[in-house]
Amino acid sequence: MYGIYRTTQRTLADQVTRGLQANLDKLGSLQSQISSGKRISKPSDDPAGADAAMRLRSQATAATQAGRNASDGLAWLGSIDTTLNGINGSLQRARDLTVQGASTGSNDETSLAAIATEIDQIRSGVIDEANTTYLGRPVLGGTTAGGKAYDSTGAFVGDGNPVNRTVGPGVSVQVNVSGPQALGSGPTGVLDILATISADLKTNPAAIGGDLTNLDAAMKNLASTQAVVGARFSRVQSMKTDADNSVLTLKAQLSTVEDVDLPKTVVDLQLQQNAYQAALGASSKVLSTSLMDFLK
């Protein structure tokens, strides 16, 4: 025998209340989307979209950091290039003086001593230039914790450790060169050559020709180092451009996933408000039935 199921006033009231609450929840969700501009405020709104947004945001963060690293690397390399340019200019002046000192018959002892004094000044200036710093660190000093790459005597007090920057996924570029790489070291190093030129101008002018050959070799090494720095600068600049473009692309993709379609959402909100008002009106009529209505 089939059972008889009756819809009571309480059951009907519960159903109406649940329906109205669902309408209110939908209204609240649409209003929240419009006010925040975001379609996804919690993972349950769109699990697949939330997962995609999380991955895009992570990639954008990594690309942003790579761009920052590249900017720092460009600052390092730019400082080094400026430093080497300055040193090259000083060495060119030293070369001109050395050629002048090597001219036999046109210099007396006093003239040679004056040239030697200027060479000494140039050497001191090269030491100062070689101690150029970026953010408190000597750009030719490697990873030294000290504030200088060379001491006042011209001895290298830095280290040969590379300074690297990660400028892309799996891409690390060295953004420094050490003092000995750029200036050489020992008797064939720039500072020793300048000291020798000064001494020979005073005591052994006949040796200046050989000193000039050594200076030319040191300047050639400096030019080669500048070329390396320039190549690294170009590479890091390219990687920075890639990172910046990647950030823009990822943010656009993130916006597509997360951002609300405002015109559509405004229309949906209006429709939902109309539906809620209609449901509210119908519910008031249904729930206004009393016991006396059943007894009539």
Provide the domain count of the chain: 2
- Please indicate, yes or no, whether residues 250 and 278 belong to a single structural domain of this protein: no
- Please indicate, yes or no, whether residues 218 and 92 belong to a single structural domain of this protein: yes
Q: For residue 23, what pLDDT is reported?
A: 61
Q: For residue 53, what pLDDT is reported?
A: 77
- Please indicate, yes or no, whether residues 219 and 277 belong to a single structural domain of this protein: no
- Please indicate, yes or no, whether residues 223 and 102 belong to a single structural domain of this protein: yes
- Please indicate, yes or no, whether residues 266 and 196 belong to a single structural domain of this protein: no
Distance CA 175, CA 196 (A): 32
Q: For residue 57, what pLDDT is reported?
A: 85
Contact of 122 with 193, CB cutoff 8 Å: no
Contact of 12 with 287, CB cutoff 8 Å: yes
How does 195-204 read in b/e, with b if 16+ C-beta sit within 10 Å?
Answer: bbbbebbeee
The parent domain of residue 106 ranges over 54-254
- Please indicate, yes or no, whether residues 275 and 156 belong to a single structural domain of this protein: no
- The pLDDT tens digits along the chain (296 residues) read 454 555 555 665 556 566 556 665 665 565 565 555 565 666 666 688 778 878 888 999 999 999 999 999 999 999 999 999 999 999 999 999 999 988 866 678 889 999 999 999 999 999 999 999 999 999 999 999 899 999 999 999 999 999 999 999 999 999 999 999 999 999 999 999 999 999 999 999 999 999 999 999 999 999 999 999 999 999 999 999 999 999 999 988 877 776 655 556 555 556 666 665 666 665 666 555 554 454 44
Q: For residue 54, what pLDDT is reported?
A: 84
- Please indicate, yes or no, whether residues 67 and 158 belong to a single structural domain of this protein: yes
Question: Does 31 fall in a domain?
Answer: no
- Please indicate, yes or no, whether residues 215 and 166 belong to a single structural domain of this protein: yes
Contact of 61 with 76, CB cutoff 8 Å: no
- Please indicate, yes or no, whether residues 277 and 148 belong to a single structural domain of this protein: no
How does 100-122 read in b/e, with b if 16+ C-beta sit within 10 Å?
Answer: bbbeeeebeeeebeebbebbbeb
Which SS3 state, helix, strand or coil, does residue 114 take? helix
Domain containing residue 226: CATH number: 1.20.1330.10
Q: For residue 47, what pLDDT is reported?
A: 80
Task: State the DSSP H helix or E strand holding residue 78, giving kind and residue range, or none if neither.
Answer: helix 47-102
- Please indicate, yes or no, whether residues 153 and 218 belong to a single structural domain of this protein: yes
- Please indicate, yes or no, whether residues 159 and 271 belong to a single structural domain of this protein: no
